[in-house]
Amino acid sequence: MTPLFPDPFVLLLLEQDPRIIPAFRRLVAKVQSRTEQQLRKTKGIHLEPITGNPPFHSIRLDRGPRAKVRVEGDVMIFEDLDTDHDEFYGKK
């Protein structure tokens, strides 16, 4: 799968605590080396659907932070990032 990082996502990532960068680098390596199905089964990633239009997915960067992504064929587009993953699921 090929990761794609639009400018707004990169700016958001750079605003986060710098300790998140190593976790993000590990995630990108996993995304690049696996298919969507493999990512869904990879322990610790938790690629999960989020209700919305268009449909999004949530993927774990680290213990708390998650990214909101769109999967279009073989491309994973990183859209948003939140250190409080409940925000993506509308639990707050």
Q: How many CB atoms lie within 10 A of CB 34?
A: 16
Q: What's the mean pLDDT in 50-73?
A: 87
For residue 83, give the nearest of 58, 62, 64, 60 by alpha carbon. Answer: 64
Condensed to tens digits (0 to 9), the pLDDT of residues 4-50 reads: 898 899 998 988 889 889 999 999 999 999 999 999 888 888 898 98
Structural domains of the chain ordered from first start: 2-83 (3.30.2310.20)
Per-residue confidence (pLDDT) for residue 61, from 0 to 100: 85
Query: Which tokens is 75 given?
Result: 């491309």
Query: Which tokens is 49 given?
Result: 């659907």
Say if residues 1 and 70 touch (Cβ distance below 8 Å). Answer: no
Per-residue confidence (pLDDT) for residue 45, from 0 to 100: 87
Strand 2-4 relative to strand 75-82, pairing? parallel
